């Protein structure tokens, strides 16, 4: 079982054009705050990220923003966060977000969101962490991505066990329940960091 005191949420810096996605991002922030789960995210005040943070802040939740210096200078940073961490670069940002979080959720977004999702999934596959990773499939946004992953399994490029590491649900409560019940997968010995 996974105890989720903090969750890192990957999501878009744009709002997109689907109101249901915006509403679900706000509700996720509110739900996490009500459950006393700290939100770790990319520190922006714009897009889905900004809506997510505002949802948590409305419910007096703890929000930790992590942003690299060069993005801070582009004036996208949320100035009303209880905790803001600045890193030198994107790699340090992802490492800090990992270190601060007990789990990860991806909401709809663009290339950056998918890059963050797949990197943290790869780390789980390699045994570099044992934290749950969830996909909130609002408005069936991720259906084509899931079909692509299934094709990768079918064609022999992705093991089903690794595909199954990604927890998927269309509801916030359902996803959080799945993440809370996540059990660390067995990792081949040759993949252990200490090679024992």
CATH class belonging to 6-180: alpha beta
Q: Tens digit of pLDDT for each residue in 32-58?
A: 999 999 999 999 999 999 999 999 999
The per-residue pLDDT for 194 is 55
Contact (Cβ atoms closer than 8 angstroms) between residue 54 and residue 74: no
CB atoms within 10 A of CB 175: 22
Share of the chain above pLDDT 70, in %: 93
Confidence of residue 189 (pLDDT cuts 50, 70, 90): low
Tell me how far apart the 2 most distant CA atoms of the chain are, in Å.
Answer: 50
Q: Does the pLDDT of residue 4 top 50, yes or no?
A: yes
Q: Tens digit of pLDDT for each residue in 92-138?
A: 999 999 999 999 999 999 999 999 999 999 999 998 999 999 999 99
Share of the chain above pLDDT 90, in %: 85
Question: Which position has the higher pLDDT, 38 or 78?
Answer: 38
Q: Element (H or E) spanning 103, and its range?
A: strand 103-106
Contact (Cβ atoms closer than 8 angstroms) between residue 23 and residue 138: no
User: Could you identify the residue written with the tokens 């690794």?
Assistant: 162
- CA-based end-to-end distance of the chain: 25
The per-residue pLDDT for 193 is 55
Confidence of residue 152 (pLDDT cuts 50, 70, 90): very high
Contact (Cβ atoms closer than 8 angstroms) between residue 136 and residue 107: yes
Q: Does the pLDDT of residue 22 top 80, yes or no?
A: yes
Using CA atoms, how far apart are residues 159 and 153, in angstroms rounded to an integer?
Answer: 6
The per-residue pLDDT for 196 is 46
Query: In a 10 Å sphere around its CB, with 0-12 CB exposed, 13-18 middle and 19+ buried, how is residue 143 labelled?
Result: exposed
């Amino acid at each position: 079982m996974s105890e989720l005191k903090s969750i890192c949420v990957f999501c878009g810096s744009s709002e997109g054009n689907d109101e249901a996605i915006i509403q679900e991002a706000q509700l996720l922030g509110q739900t996490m705050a009500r459950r006393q789960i700290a939100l770790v995210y990319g520190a922006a005040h714009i897009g889905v990220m900004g809506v997510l943070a505002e949802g948590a802040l409305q419910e007096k939740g703890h929000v930790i923003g992590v942003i690299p210096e060069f993005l801070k200078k582009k004036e996208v940073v949320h100035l009303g966060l209880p905790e803001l961490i600045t890193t030198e670069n994107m790699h340090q940002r992802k490492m800090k977000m990992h270190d601060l979080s007990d789990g990860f959720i991806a909401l709809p977004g663009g290339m950056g969101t998918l890059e963050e999702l797949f990197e943290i999934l790869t780390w789980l596959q390699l045994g570099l962490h044992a934290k749950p990773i969830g996909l909130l499939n609002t408005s069936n946004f991720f259906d084509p991505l899931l079909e692509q992953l299934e094709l990768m399994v079918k064609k022999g490029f992705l093991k089903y066990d690794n595909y199954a590491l990604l927890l998927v649900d269309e509801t916030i409560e359902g996803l959080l329940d799945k993440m809370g019940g996540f059990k660390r997968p067995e990792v081949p010995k040759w993949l252990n960091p200490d090679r024992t």
